[in-house]
Structure 1
Amino acid sequence: MIRSGSLVPGTDPAAFGLPAGTALRYERPDPVLQPLLPSYAVLDSDPAVWKGPDAWVLPGWGQLWIVLTSGTVTVRTRKRQPTRLGSVVLYGNSSRAMPVTSQGGVTVVVDLSPAGWARLIDRPADDFRDQIVPLDRFWPPDRVQDLLSRLHASDRGEGVKAILDDFFLSQLPEPHRDEPALADISRWVREVDTPPVSAMVKQLGISQSALLRVANRHLGYPPKLLMRRTRFLRALTGMMMAESPPAQAGIPSGYHDVPHFLRDANEFLGTTPRRFLALPMPYLRSVLRARAMVIGAPLPLLDPADARRNR
């Protein structure tokens, strides 16, 4: 098993609250990469202690998953089709929580921001929403194999950050022409409230057709759904990370009433918040806590604007 923690000074892995038989690392990428790759994670579990269907991936931006374990890892997407993960896969931007079944071992996850998708994938994100596809559909096979080989040869723990930084910095594409618009749209999507799209169009000074084009191509969905997803996940992760169970009758911030919240829960979870929160998800809760401690927010789409600035 890898050693849990982070290279970020002052990180106490005991505060992650990991269940027995599991380990986790979160790292901040090189400052040049942070606007594109918000975070790196290394997930590990001992198959003799921890395995099965008790892990989940919440909706969000795209991700690269590099599976270093020889054990089987399967994910059920929104279409309810179990997908067995290959060695290096791309998660498309997603709108539904996905259960993961693993037989243990190490997996490395690289988070992609919308700008990261634009620059590193440069394929329409709405063509791959809620899908998991082999990365060699987008990158040359030798490039994918290089990344996989470097990580297989690593300690799979503290050395992963340096390997990923070196790999991505060595072949970083030129900025995409849509990145300035993406930065503005992403900032609006992160707002606590959900202003009408017409207000976004006016404030950003672009046409509605241009807004929809950029959002669908690089963020995977139209702005209204993205704002709803952010609002819901801000409320849900707050409940999941709370030390005491939330009051089920309470109205989360940003919602008019409980039915309003339940409609979004059905959209993004496929069930009610009560049922979802009752599921055994100790590892996911630990992942959320760990990322908030190391990066500043439990999910990339909730990162504050200054978390992805070049410094």
Structure 2
Amino acid sequence: MRAEDVRGGTSSGTVSPSAFVMPDGMAMRYDMPDPALSEYLTGYAIYASIDRTPMLNWYLPAPAMISVLVDAGPLTVSIGNHRFGPVDRASFYGPTSRAFRTETRGGIAVGIGLSALGWSRLTARSAGDFHNRVAPLSVALGAELSARLIEGLDALDDDSMIKPLLDEVFCGLFDRPHPRDALIRAFTALTVTDGVIEMKDVADRLDIPTHELRRMATRHFGMPPKLLLRRARFLRSFIRLITADGLNDYSMIDSSYFDASHFLRDAGTFLGTTPRRFIASDTVFLRASLRARAAVIGAPTQALHGVAKPAPTLPNRSSGDPDRLQPSA
């Protein structure tokens, strides 16, 4: 499959083609995973460009993601002062608390969003080990998954077949429950709730000590709970402003912000600059993806993707290590 062959769009028949409009020579596709995978994978994104000259693009801080390159030139990723690359064809982008920039040279990039619940069922490793890092997928999640994705995508000649392939590759990989499933679901729901920002409040709602919340968040979500909650609050506010073209209308920011200057301090933390300067930079794919993802999946960005099912009542805590994978009975 070549970039020239990507038509873009989605397998969902209810989304207007206008959601996927891109500049000439570029195409974009979004698809929902199979419902059986919806708790673990937050969406499939495909970006394509036929132009092989270097192109810069900025992206918002996000949860973990798998990226596979097809017929693509070298790609490098910059997160803060750290530069990764050229990255492997199959790469793992760890959870980020900073906006990151990519430099591409055409081709196709297939992105697979991974929820905290999905991460917990795939590996016993801590997501915190990959905070603001990009690593070969073979290192993060194993050579077998990396090889299956690369070989499968290389064999396709139609972008509409990417979703069925990914559904097939991931089918069965999340079947083993984790002891913290209910807690991970419940915390995920709180991170996308307006006004929730205090760690003590969250710990009380989840009925766990704050030190246990800190450990769980770092292990499964990749960073301390306070940083996760601040990231979600900032992104909720930032995206409301930019999608309404109202960067000066601070009445739309999250209710837990004291004032506009409080919000702008968070912009410095998560974007590295002001919202206006960030949007004025290289954000062609970002702005298009916010529109298309919202139309197909319901949330404009992966960091604001909620739980696929209602969070169940939390079970009683055991005296054992709740973050250790238990053997099957």
Q: Provide the TM-score with structure 1 as the length reference.
A: 0.92
Inter-CA distance 112–214: structure 2 relative to 1 (3 Å threshold) = same
2:253 alignment partner AA: P
- Contact preservation (8 Å) 2:97, 2:270: yes
Inter-CA distance 174–283: structure 2 relative to 1 (3 Å threshold) = same
Instruction: Give the Cα–Cα distance (whole angstroms) in 2 for the partners of residues 9 and 307 of structure 1.
Output: 23
1:160 alignment partner AA: I
1:65 alignment partner in structure 2 = 67
Instruction: Give the Cα–Cα distance (whole angstroms) in 2 for the partners of residues 40 and 305 of structure 1.
Output: 16
2:32 alignment partner AA: R
* 1:182-193 matched pairs, under 5 angstroms: 182-193=184-195
- The answer to whether 1:52 aligns with 2:55 is yes
Shift, 1:56, TM fit: 1.7
- Contact preservation (8 Å) 1:36, 1:112: yes
Q: Report the more deviating stretch, 137-146 or 23-32.
A: 137-146
Inter-CA distance 117–170: structure 2 relative to 1 (3 Å threshold) = closer
The partner residue of 2:109 within 107, 110, 117 is 107
Q: Alpha carbon RMSD of aligned pairs, Å? A: 2.0
Q: Report the more deviating stretch, 12-21 or 198-207.
A: 12-21
Shift, 1:307, TM fit: 6.5
1:234 alignment partner AA: R
Instruction: Give per-residue Cα distances to partners, 1:78-128, cap 9 Å, x unaligned.
Output: 233243221101000000001111111111100001101111233111111
Inter-CA distance 194–171: structure 2 relative to 1 (3 Å threshold) = closer
Q: Provide the TM-score with structure 2 as the length reference.
A: 0.87
2:66 alignment partner AA: L
Inter-CA distance 299–249: structure 2 relative to 1 (3 Å threshold) = closer
* 1:214-233 matched pairs, under 5 angstroms: 214-233=216-235
What SS does structure 1 have at the residue aligned with 2:37? coil
Instruction: Give the Cα–Cα distance (whole angstroms) in 1 for the partners of residues 261 and 240 of structure 2.
Output: 19
- Contact preservation (8 Å) 2:122, 2:173: no
1:17 alignment partner in structure 2 = 21
2:318 alignment partner in structure 1 = none
1:294 alignment partner in structure 2 = 296
Taking only the aligned residue pairs, the percentage that are identical comes to 34
- 5+ residue gaps, structure 2, are 312-329
- Contact preservation (8 Å) 1:24, 1:41: yes
Instruction: Give the Cα–Cα distance (whole angstroms) in 2 for the partners of residues 62 and 170 of structure 1.
Output: 20
1:303 alignment partner in structure 2 = 305
Instruction: Give the Cα–Cα distance (whole angstroms) in 2 for the partners of residues 231 and 148 of structure 1.
Output: 35
Shift, 1:156, TM fit: 4.9
2:97 alignment partner AA: S
2:77 alignment partner AA: V
Instruction: Give the Cα–Cα distance (whole angstroms) in 2 for the partners of residues 52 and 193 of structure 1.
Output: 37
What SS does structure 1 have at the residue aligned with 2:35? coil
Instruction: Give the Cα–Cα distance (whole angstroms) in 1 for the partners of residues 72 and 280 of structure 2.
Output: 31
